[in-house]
Amino acid sequence: RFVLSAGHASALLYSLLFLNGYDISIEELKRFRQLDSITPGHPENILTPGVEVTSGPLGQGFGNGVGMAIAERYLSSYFNRDGFSVVDHYTYVLASDGDLMEGISSEAAALAGHFKLNKLIVIWDNNKVTIDGPTSLAWSENVLERFHALGWYVQDIEDGYNLAKIEEAVRNAKEQKDKPSFISVRTHIGYGSRLQDDCRAHGAPLGKEAVEEMKKRFNWPLEEFYIPEEAWRYREEKIKNGVKMEEEWRRIFERYRENYPDLADLLLRCFNRDWGKEYKKYLPVFTEGMATRAASGKVLNAIAKHIPTMLVGSADLFESTNTYLHGLGDFQADNPLGRNIHYGVREHAMGAIMNGMAYHGGILPCGGTFLVFSDYMRPTIRLAAMAGLQVIYVFSHDSVWIGEDGPTHQPVEQLSSLRLIPNLWVIRPCDPNEVSVAWEIAIERKDGPTAIILTRQKVPVLDRNIYPTADNIKKGAYVLADTDSSPDIVILASGSEVHLALQAKRMLEDRGIKTRIVNMASFEIFEQQEEKYKLEVIPRNVRKVAIEAGRGLCWYKYVGENGLVISIERFGKSAPYQDLIKDFGFEGEKILYEILGHFKIS
Known catalytic residues are 347
> Distance between CA atoms of 491 and 543, rounded to whole angstroms?
9
Q: For the chain, how many residues are written?
A: 602
Label residues 93-122 b or e (16+ Cβ within 10 Å = b).
Answer: bbbbbbbbbbebbbbbbbbbbebbbbbbbb
Q: Give exposure, 69-86, as e/b (b: 16+ Cβ within 10 Å).
A: bbbbbbbbebbeeeebeb
Phi, psi torsion values for 148, nearest 5 degrees: -60, -45
CA 150/CA 185 separation, integer angstroms = 19
Contact 369, 317 (CB under 8 A): yes
Cα 508–Cα 509–Cα 513 angle in degrees, nearest 5: 75
Among 92, 108, 15, residue whose Cα is nearest residue 58: 108
Strands 310-314 and 290-291: unpaired
- Output the CA torsion sign for 56, 58, 64, 65: positive
What is the torsional sign of CA 256, 259, 262, 265? positive
User: How many Cα atoms sit within 13 Å of 264 on the Cβ side?
Assistant: 13
Cβ-contact 549, 571 below 8 angstroms: no
CB atoms near residue 266 (< 10 Å): 18
**CA–CA separation, 231 and 496 (whole Å):** 63
Nearest Cα neighbor of 359 from 6, 8, 72 is 72
Dihedral sign (CA 69, 347, 418, 280)? positive
- 376 backbone dihedrals φ, ψ, rounded to 5°: -65, -20
- Give the pairing of strands 181-186 and 120-126: parallel
Q: Are strands 458-459 and 290-291 parallel, antiparallel or unpaired?
A: antiparallel
Helix axes 60-79, 378-387, angle to 10 degrees: 70
Task: Identify whether the C-beta of residue 40 lies closer than 8 Å to the C-beta of residue 326.
Answer: no
Q: How far apart are alpha carbons 152 and 207 in whole angstroms?
A: 41
Which H or E run contains 64?
helix 60-79
Helix (H) or strand (E) holding 291: strand 290-291
Among the listed residues 67, 30, 593, the one whose alpha carbon sits nearest the alpha carbon of residue 380: 67
